[in-house]
Structure formats: structure tokens, C-alpha cells
Amino acid sequence: MGEVILTMKGIDKSFPGVHALDHVDFDVRRGEVHALMGENGAGKSTLMKVLTGIYTKDSGTITFEGKEVEFHNPREAQQAGIVIVHQELNMMGHLTVAQNIFIGREPKHGLFINDRAMNTEARKLFAQLNIEIDPKETMSSLTVAKQQMCEIAKAISHDAKVIVFDEPTAALTDAEIDQLFVIIRDLRARGYGIVYISHRMDEIKRITDRVSVMRDGQYIGTLVTEECTKEDIIDMMVGRVIYEEPKTESRCAPDAPVVLKVEHLNAGRMVQDVSFELRRGEILGFAGLVGAGRTETARALFGADPKQSGDIWINGEKVSISSPKEAVEAGLSYLSEDRKRFGIVLKKNITENSTLATLKKYTKGVFIDKSAEEAVTQKYVDALKTKTPGIDQLVMNLSGGNQQKVVIAKWLVNDSQIMIFDEPTRGIDVGAKQEIYELMNQLAASGKSIIMISSELAEILRMSDRIIVMCEGRKTGEFGIAEATQEKIMAAATRDIDMQNRKNRQEGAAV
């Protein structure tokens, strides 16, 4: 490990209503891999966006190579020598590898671009990195891993000194991860400063020299990787905050009838062999980090995405659900995490939204039965205590919490028995959150069964009767609320993937 090359001190950044970064400190040395860890929303990405000029900081200083700097856009950061390898790769798929690497600074031969020189240069870069990629290959035909290597090559060709990897292994196979680590170690040996953002605990132990942890926009501390255990890191990530009124025992009778049973559900990479049961009147929490496959599981169950295999029983009867229409007919409803895209029609009023899924019931002949429609809407506006001047109010004029209530009303009108809430309180302020929680408890008490997907541990612990934890498309834990703790859930969510790797290898060998 060499001298410090980059120091961020007292970085502060607020967005309307959110204090995203609260005087955060962070530094990077030459020739080290420095992990940046934290739950979703802890502020890691925001910090890196401030570093590379995508966001401007409210206060604090950034010192790079001994000089105070301030970047106004990613280009300036890149020119200074700080490059991010994004999780979502920034590539032009129709162009070749070499064309991508040298975009914006093509070598020329008079008027024409000298592709030959470009390919030769690219080949040299790859030789330096010990990677075998044909510079003439079209970018979109490469695997994600190879595209990522091209980004690394591009970073090096820009003469980068600090390279930030944002969850680089999220879409890679084991063999590819091994190869990536060889490259990262090589870069470290050559004196690059590397920031490594990841959720995977085992990778942190394998590749990094130091670990810095963030929580709720604050810098918690830095540990030397060799000297700490996974448990130390998890402790720092979840903290010692006591959340208000977590549930201590299940409110659902242990012998309540099973209303939904899912067995061996498979749908792509993100849903692998998921099985679970849901009882009448139960709130089943789905915990895990973003990208663990929870939403994908819900969508596959709901028929919104195709599934490869899996059996579903509703009230003991085996059903086949291959479209949302069939799911709705079977009594399921899905309240998307992205309300504005999938949940409601913003520019329509409450009445029109409430009966959107059930318009057939409120149609007489060819005309919509306006009075019946309004009566049922008013009923649920009252029941859910939706705050609105009237039922003819456009939904876009309501607050997030009240919009969520309109979505709930829509499904109640439809008489859904099983409701899937995907991040039910996202974008909803604290007071309204409380109301949504109460509403969900009432729904459960009245005999509805609820699946609640949430990335907030506090929410999971507060609402669930039982908790299922997912990680990378698999179910990695199941706890009754009485035995669940933050630490247990976090451990399952960032689960050691060693065991899984072994399993993958065995499967690979079998094929």
C-alpha cells in the first residue's frame, strides 16, 4: 500500500427531504483495493457520484494527488484520472470494441479514421491486462464480463489513477469473477488506487485491503480487512439502532390455512428454485438487498414474467398462472414498487383508478355505471382514510401515501385475497408510512394474506409475521418473527456464496 492519493473530507450533500451524505470522510491509497460497503441507500453511490462530478457537493473537500479539486462532470474527473466502471455498462453496442475504447479520440489518417491503428492500440492494452478480446468484435456480441474488461481497458487508456468498481461482479459467473480478480490484483500491484463497491461479503475478504462502511448517509468507520471478521462488518452496516415497535411474535395463528403455496419456482437467473407458503391473515416479509430476485419472484408468481418451472397452489388447488389476468382472477394482486409506472394512471381521477381492474363489474350494457362506480370509490376512500378533496381529484395531485391507498383500493374493489406489496412505503413520508403500516395490519387481521417485499430491515422486522430472505435469486433464509434479528437477516442476505459456488461448479460439471 502506498501513499494516499485521494482524500474526501467532510462531504455533505442534501436532496430535497433527504440528507444523503452527512459529512463523510473517505480516502484511497495507491496500490490498494478499498471496499465501500453499506445497505442500499446508505450513500455509497451518492458519494461516488460526488467524486466523479455527477453531483455537486454542498460542502467538504476533495484532494487528489495533493491538490484540491472539484469536478463538474464525469469528463473532467476522467481527464484528471478518476474513472468509474459502472454496474450498468456505458457502451455503444453497435460499435466494435476498439471503436468504443477510443470513441471521441480516434486516430486519423487525413479525413478518415484509422481503424487499423486503433485496433493495434487496443490489442496492446489487452495484452497489458492479459485479456484475450478481439478489438474488431462488435461490443454487443461480448459477454457482460468481457464488456466490463473493455471498460477497464478504456479506463487504463485514459491514464486513470483511481478506478471505482460499482458492484462489478453482479452479473458475472464464478470463473469470470476469478478472472476479474486477477486483473484487479494486477492493477493494484501496478499502483492503481481501487474503490470496490460490493455487497458480497466473501469477495470483500478475498480482494480488498481495507473496508469502509457507510450507514444512513454517514461514515461509520474503516477497518483493515485482514484484521476483521464478517460479523464486524455486518455489525457496522446494521448499527445498533433500536427501531420502534418491532413485532415480537406472529399475529397469525400457526394453524391458519395455507392460502398460497409455491414450489420450486424458476424464472431466469433471478429466481432459482424458490419455494414458500403463505397462510391466511399472515404478513410474509421478503428481505434481501436490491437485486436479490424478490421483485422477480413476485412478477413470475403474478404471471407478469414467464417462468420456466414451478407449481402454485391457491387454497389447496393447483393453478396455472401465465398472465396477470389469470393471477387477478385467482385472487392475487401485485402493488408494484414503481407505482407511477405500473400502479396508477396519474392523469385520471380516483374513481377511474379505483375501478380500473374491475371495470367490467361497473359496466351496464356498453356504458360505465357512473353512480355504482362512485359509490364503491367513496366507500374505500372512507375506509382507507384517503385524504382528498373529492373522488374526482386527479391522482397526480395526491401525496405518495394517498396514491398508494388508491392502488390498495383498486385491489380491494377487486376483492383480492392475496396481496403482494413491493416496497409499499417507497417515496412515502414518515407519517403516511405509519398509516400504510396500520392499513396492512388491518388487512391482515381481516383475513387478507400479504407478501411484503422490502429492502428496509426496520420495516421487515416491524411488519412481518414470518421472514424469507433472498440472495442472488435463491431463498437463503427463513425466520419466524420471534427468532429474527437484523444480524441474522443481513447475514443471509449477504450470504457467503462459497457454498453456492461449489454447487454451481457441480452443476457445470454435470452439464
Partner 1 sequence: MENTIDRKKAARSAFIRSSAFQRMIIIAVLILLYGFFYIASPSFRKYTTLVQICSNMYYTLLMAIGVTFPLITGGNDLSMGTGLICYSLIGSYLMRICGWPLWAAIVITILMGVAMGAVNGFGVAKLNVPPFIMTLASMMFCRGIGSILTGGFSGTWPDGMEPGAGFRSVFRLVVRTDSGRMPIPLGMVWMILLVILMSLVLNKTRVGRYTIAIGSNREALKLSGVNVLKWHIFAYMICGLFTGLAAVTYAATFSNITPGQGAGFELNAIGAAIIGGTAMTGGSGSVFGTFLGVLLISLLQVGLPFVGLNADWQLLITGCILMGAVTIDKMRNSK
List interacting residues with partner 1 (CB under 8 A): 74-75, 78-79, 90-95, 99, 103-104, 106, 108, 111-113, 115, 141
Smallest distance from partner 1 to CB 92, Å: 4
Smallest distance from partner 1 to CB 119, Å: 14
Tell me the residue type at 476: T
Stretch (H or E) spanning 76: helix 74-80
Q: What's the rounded Cα separation, in Å, for the pair 117 and 114? A: 6
Smallest distance from partner 1 to CB 101, Å: 10
Q: Are 160 and 114 in contact (CB under 8 A)?
A: no
What's the burial of 391, exposed, middle or buried (CB within 10 Å: 0-12/13-18/19+)? buried
Q: What's the rounded Cα separation, in Å, for the pair 29 and 19? A: 28
- Partners of residue 317 on adjacent β-strands: 314
Smallest distance from partner 1 to CB 89, Å: 9
- Partners of residue 480 on adjacent β-strands: 466
Smallest distance from partner 1 to CB 133, Å: 15
User: Please, which residue, 92 or 290, has the CB nearer to partner 1?
Assistant: 92
Alpha-carbon distances, residue 405 vs 276, 384, 432, 440 (angstroms): 27, 7, 10, 11
Smallest distance from partner 1 to CB 142, Å: 13
User: Please, which residue, 104 or 431, has the CB nearer to partner 1?
Assistant: 104
User: Please, which residue, 22 or 115, has the CB nearer to partner 1?
Assistant: 115
User: Please, which residue, 103 or 182, has the CB nearer to partner 1?
Assistant: 103
Smallest distance from partner 1 to CB 472, Å: 23
Cell for 249?
411474535
Tell me the residue type at 219: Y
User: Please, which residue, 138 or 315, has the CB nearer to partner 1?
Assistant: 138
Cell for 501?
459456488
DSSP-based three-state secondary structure for 345: coil
Name the nearest CA neighbour of 477 among 494, 498, 463: 494
What's the distance, CA 338 to chain centroid? Answer: 13
Smallest distance from partner 1 to CB 474, Å: 25
User: Please, which residue, 154 or 247, has the CB nearer to partner 1?
Assistant: 154
Q: What's the rounded Cα separation, in Å, for the pair 357 and 47? A: 42
User: Please, which residue, 78 or 393, has the CB nearer to partner 1?
Assistant: 78
User: Please, which residue, 108 or 251, has the CB nearer to partner 1?
Assistant: 108
For the chain, the maximum distance between any two Cα atoms, rounded to a whole number of angstroms, is: 81
Exposure of 382 in the CB half-sphere (CA atoms within 13 A): 6
Q: Would you report the helix, strand and coil content of the chain in percent, each value rounded to 5?
A: 40, 25, 35
User: Please, which residue, 115 or 232, has the CB nearer to partner 1?
Assistant: 115
Smallest distance from partner 1 to CB 112, Å: 4
